[in-house]
Amino acid sequence: MSQKKLFSNILIQDKSIGRFVIILTSILSFLACCSLLFLLNTHRQYLDWQKVLNQTFFVELMPESKKEDDLAILNQTLQFLQNTKGVLAVRVIPEEEANALLKPWLGADEESLKRYKLPVLIDVTTNLSVDDLKKLEYSLKQRLPFVKVSANDAWTKQMSHYSGSLEFLSLFIFGLILLGLMIIVLTASKMSVVLQRHYVDLLKLMGAPYRFISRQFEKFFTFKVVIGSSIGMLLATSFFHFFLILQDGQITIMRHFLMYEDVFYLLAIPIFLLLLSYVVSRITTMHLLKLGHS
């Protein structure tokens, strides 16, 4: 006669509580994956913008009293820039073009342009990293103190603040989702212990350590949370995959979503939720068992 395996479950596990945990966990896991992907996308977008901004910058040469000095400084600057590794192109912006850049700022008062001596602008294109660009800026200023580098710092700062706020918001939402999951597991653990009080008491009378009893609940909840969070993760992945297909390769703000390494982050979510639910379930059941001890 075939014998059933002993003790698949020592305590009765309420199916409706199990379903409740799976459904809510999958929703929360979906939202957690979305917020994580959004955070990653925002961060990458910021790095991308920063890179683009760093690729071009202006060097301004303030006019001196003597025309000969201006020319010497310009030549020195051009020579320095051209000999710097990572600088791809150096172009002195012609006066008309520089004036055209200023026109939108001056409006109708175009005549004032003629009254002032304007700086000479050098348009520099590089493939330098942010750190290397800072080094270039520093050494340029050391050699040629009259030179001013306009490296889009204001824009970079703005972008940094903007992306930082979005990243913080995503993290905050992620934290709220984790808190939601903790509340769900806590409530469900509590309900389970209360519903099975009779059997829990019996196990206690048989000398079962709290750890033994608590393990029966932990097993149940971690299993349900793993199922729920995996469903949520798969849904989120499918959702973004489908979204990207709709984008059809266009370069949009979404292009940093679902990159190869994101798979590891996404897989980390069910594992993290599992650990979290395990800890919450254990603390809750142990606390309830200790509260009810004789």
Partner 1 sequence: MVKDFKKTIVYADQVTICYQDNKPILDQISLTLMPKSFHFVTGSSGSGKTTLLKMLYLEQKPDRGRFLLFGQDRYKLTMPEIQKMRQHIGVVFQDFRLLPHLTALENVALPLKIIGAKNHEMETQAKELLDWVGLAHQMNAYPHALSGGEQQRVAIARAIITKPDLLLADEPTGNVDDVIAVKIMHLFEELNKIGTTIIIATHNEAVVSRFAYPRLHLEKGKLLEMGNVTNKIEDDYLYVAKKTLF
Q: Which residues bind partner 1 (CB under 8 A)?
A: 3-4, 6-7, 9-12, 199, 202-210, 212, 290, 293-294
Closest CA to 289 of 216, 206, 201: 201
CB nearer partner 1, residue 43 or residue 215: 215
CB nearer partner 1, residue 10 or residue 276: 10
List the structure tokens of 267.
């897989």
Sheet of 87-92, strands arranged across: 87-92, 120-126, 56-61, 147-150
How far is the CA of 138 from the CAs of 64, 149, 222, in angstroms?
Answer: 22, 9, 55
Report, in Å, the least distance between residue 13 CB and partner 1.
Answer: 9
CB nearer partner 1, residue 90 or residue 203: 203
Which residue's structure tokens are 């479950």?
9
Report, in Å, the least distance between residue 23 CB and partner 1.
Answer: 24
CB nearer partner 1, residue 13 or residue 277: 13
Report, in Å, the least distance between residue 3 CB and partner 1.
Answer: 8
Report, in Å, the least distance between residue 251 CB and partner 1.
Answer: 59
Across 152-182, b (16+ Cβ under 10 Å) vs e yields beeebeebeeebeebbeebeebbeebbebbb
Rounded CA separation 132/10 (Å): 64
| Contacts (Cβ under 8 Å, ≥6 apart) of 17 | 188, 191, 192, 195
List the structure tokens of 192.
């389970």
Rounded CA separation 189/218 (Å): 8
Report, in Å, the least distance between residue 202 CB and partner 1.
Answer: 5
**Cβ atoms 186, 21 nearer than 8 A:** no
Rounded CA separation 86/178 (Å): 45
- Map residue 87 onto helix, strand or coil: strand
CB nearer partner 1, residue 204 or residue 219: 204
CB nearer partner 1, residue 154 or residue 205: 205
Backbone angles phi, psi at 246, to 5 degrees: -60, -35
Report, in Å, the least distance between residue 200 CB and partner 1.
Answer: 11
CB nearer partner 1, residue 11 or residue 47: 11
Report, in Å, the least distance between residue 49 CB and partner 1.
Answer: 60
List the structure tokens of 53.
């901004």
| Contacts (Cβ under 8 Å, ≥6 apart) of 218 | 278, 281, 282, 285
Polymer length in residues for the chain: 294
CB nearer partner 1, residue 101 or residue 202: 202
Report, in Å, the least distance between residue 286 CB and partner 1.
Answer: 11
